[in-house]
Structure formats: C-alpha cells, structure tokens
Structure 1
Amino acid sequence: MRLSSVNHIETIVGDRRASTGDDRLFVMFHGYGNDEREMIRVIDGVYAGTGRIPSYLSFHGTYDRDYMGGAYWYPDGCGTEERRRECSAVGDAVVALLDSPMFASRRKILVGFSQGGYMSYRIVREHPDMFDAAILMSPSFKGEETTDGSTIAGDTRFLLHYGSEDRTIPLDDQRTAHRVLEATGRLESHEYPGMGHAICQKEIEDIRKFIEL
C-alpha cells in the first residue's frame, strides 16, 4: 500500500485479529539503511512461542539509498528542524490512515529502531491521543536537548532500550532521551550490557513483558 501524501511510504500489512482475538496493532518504523522487514523480524521474535500471530503495519522509509539498498526517514546529519519536518509529514500520513473505523477499537503500539525510534517518539509528541504505547529501541535523539518531557500529553507508555556499548547514538543523546521520557512518568527503560547499536534476545523478552503477552 502507498500513502501518496508523502514522497512514498510503503507498508507491509499483517492483520490477524480475526483469527487470534488480539486487539494490538503494531505500527513499525525501521532504522537507517534497512527496510520494513526489519521490524517484522522483531515483532515475530516477540510473538515466537506464544501461539499467537501479531497484527502490524510495517513501513518503508521515505528515501531509498542508491546503490547500497535500504532506506531512511530523514537525511543523515540533517538539522533538528528538517528531522522534525520529515517526521511530521510521515506521522500525519500514518495517523490519517489510522483514523478510520477499521482501527478504532485497536490498541495501537508504535515500534521503532534508531531513526525509526525517533520517528515513533515524534509521532507521539504530535499525536498524543492516538497510541497506547511506544517501544523505542536505540532511538536517535539529537536536537531534543531543550525539550520538556512534561509537555508530552496523553497516556502513551514508553519503553526505551539502549546497549551499553552503543556508540552510534552519542551518550549525551541517550541521556536526553531518558530525561525527556522519564519526565512523563510513563517510562520503562533498560540497558543491555555489551550490546552496541543492535537488538538482542533479552530486549525481545523485555518487549514481550511490556506488552503483556
């Protein structure tokens, strides 16, 4: 499916509620240089062994990388205002898609890694009443240093993860993410010893507990 209101957003849709009775809908954004299948692998890992099958919308980044493959949501190294504009455009299009009777009764959970984690955070900030939870895995957070977390309205719960050896996201940005999200009073966070800018099995297990599977 394509959403024409931005450059291009492609998504893989897997809706299994009718067969499983699970009302969760995962809205997922991959990291820089990857594609929509990255988050599908993650959510399939979360559901593995439960006997249940997840429902999701897994989106493809708005910009494709030439030659190397994969995609991204905003240009590497761009300024804060450009990042926010890119996130707003995607967020507005996705929320317009979700603002439908088809999804009205669903518990909507954002999931994002790296750039996709920042995207998920920005969508909650601009659309605070749409999502039940946001799972932010190693999110980029540059440019949010002066943001007051208490201004994040709504009741969205946040799960924040970083690896102790993550050098892709500067430590100061990681601290900013903790500070901004902790100020909401709705944050659960974990650090994974020895993990870099990656995803580990313990992280998958903590996501499973967070969503109460």
Structure 2
Amino acid sequence: MRLSSVNRIETITADGDGKAADDRLFVMFHGYGNDEREMIRVIEGVYAGTGRSPSYLSFHGTYDRDYMGGAYWYPDGCGVEERRRECSEVGDAVVSLLDSPMFASRRKILIGFSQGGYMSYRIVREHPGVFDAAILMSPSFKGEETTNGAMIAGDTRFLLLYGSKDRTIPLDDQRTAQRVLEATGRLETHEYPDMGHAINEAEIEDIRKFIEL
C-alpha cells in the first residue's frame, strides 16, 4: 500500500488577542475522484478570517484513476469486506504515524468527504480513544446496516453533514449513518436544503462552530 500526504504542522502558540493555543491536528481524507487538495481547501475555508492557520495531514487516495485523474480509497462498487479491509490498512498506517512525540500534545480531528468520510468513521471504530472528533461530510455508509452504534467505544465526538438533495449517497445509507452515530450519544448532525453531494458555506460555518474556532 502506498500512502502519501501533504502536511502543514504549525507551532502551538497562543494568539496575541488572548485566544487559547491552537493544538488541533486535522487528519483528512478526500472523496472519490479528487485528491488531497480537496480537504486542504475545506480546512482553509474553515479557518478563513480567524487569523490562525490550521495544522493538518491531508492524505492522497491509495488508488489513482487512470486517464481521468484524481484518486480513491476503495474501488467503487466493491463489497463490504473489501471496503473495510482497505480502510483498516489505511487506518492502521495513519494511527501508527500519529504515535509520535511530534503529535502527542495535539487534539486529533478526522475530517473526510464521501469515501473519506466513511474512512474517518471506520478509523474511529477500529482505533477508539485516538481522535477527539470526526467530521463526516456526506459519507458513504453502505454495509453498516447491522452495526450497533452503541458499541462504538471511546469518546470521539461526531459531526455528520449531508445535503438534502444528495443522491450519490442513497437515502437508506444516510439514515443508517444517522442511526449508527446517534446511538453513540456523541453526534451533532446538519442537513442543508437544496444541496447535493457537495460542500457549501453553511457547512463550513457549522464545522467552524463544531471545532469552536
């Protein structure tokens, strides 16, 4: 497995206006057909106007698309076990990377769109206690129909975001995500009228509020 990323790690310092030091580290996974710059644009949008710069590791999908460009984390249409196996391999590698003195003092926040949202969810399931929060933007959720969300260990907070007109992720899968994550007792969720499988300014603002910038 090849895993690459674009990183920016800012020094943890308090702002001159008295704001607390920003110790957040965003661990980011893009959606199908995109690349690591997708999530960099998202997190820079979240931080716009705050006077701060985010620290992040933005990962590139493990499979590149021939001819069309972009990348993905698991093949479109693959089975549940293959999808989980691909997520496990990436998750194990990322958590091993984070097990370093460099990141020990950081609050680690997963953020992913679509396939990257599902990746973030699976990493929390398999590595409880590592991440402070997981922001799941329009995540795919096929294969989790029988999952008991109450059994998701740890205290990771979840933010679940969908557009009301998202037809890329079937409505049944969206409802499964809501049910599974709500059972943890640690879920905040938002739906955006007239938005499809996309990202909008209201979503960026809700992420900003969720992480308390």
Question: What is the TM-score when the length of structure 1 is the normalising length?
Answer: 0.96
Aligned-partner Cα distance in 1 for 2:80–2:34? 22
Deviations 1:81-131 (A, max 9, x none): 000000000000000000111111100000000000000000000001100
Q: Identity, % of aligned pairs?
A: 84
Q: Does 1:9 align with 2:3?
A: yes
Aligned-partner Cα distance in 2 for 1:152–1:61? 25
Unaligned 5+ residue runs, structure 1?
1-6
Structure 1 residue 9 displacement after superposition: 1.1
Q: Which residue of 1 aligns with 2:152?
A: 152
Aligned-partner Cα distance in 2 for 1:18–1:211? 16
Q: Which residue of 2 aligns with 1:204?
A: 204
Matched-pair contact (CA < 8 Å) for 2:26–2:109: yes
Aligned-partner Cα distance in 1 for 2:109–2:11? 14
Unaligned 5+ residue runs, structure 2?
15-20
Aligned-partner Cα distance in 1 for 2:11–2:32? 30
Deviations 1:161-182 (A, max 9, x none): 0000000000000000000000
Q: Which residue of 2 aligns with 1:130?
A: 130
Matched-pair contact (CA < 8 Å) for 2:25–2:56: yes
Q: Which residue of 2 aligns with 1:75?
A: 75
Matched-pair contact (CA < 8 Å) for 2:12–2:23: no
Alignment of 1:60-139 (within 5 A): 60-139=60-139
Structure 1 residue 193 displacement after superposition: 0.1
Question: What is the TM-score when the length of structure 2 is the normalising length?
Answer: 0.96
- Secondary structure in 2 matching 1:102: helix
What is the aligned-residue RMSD (CA, Å)? 0.7
Instruction: Please tell me the residue identity of whatever aligns with 1:164.
Output: S
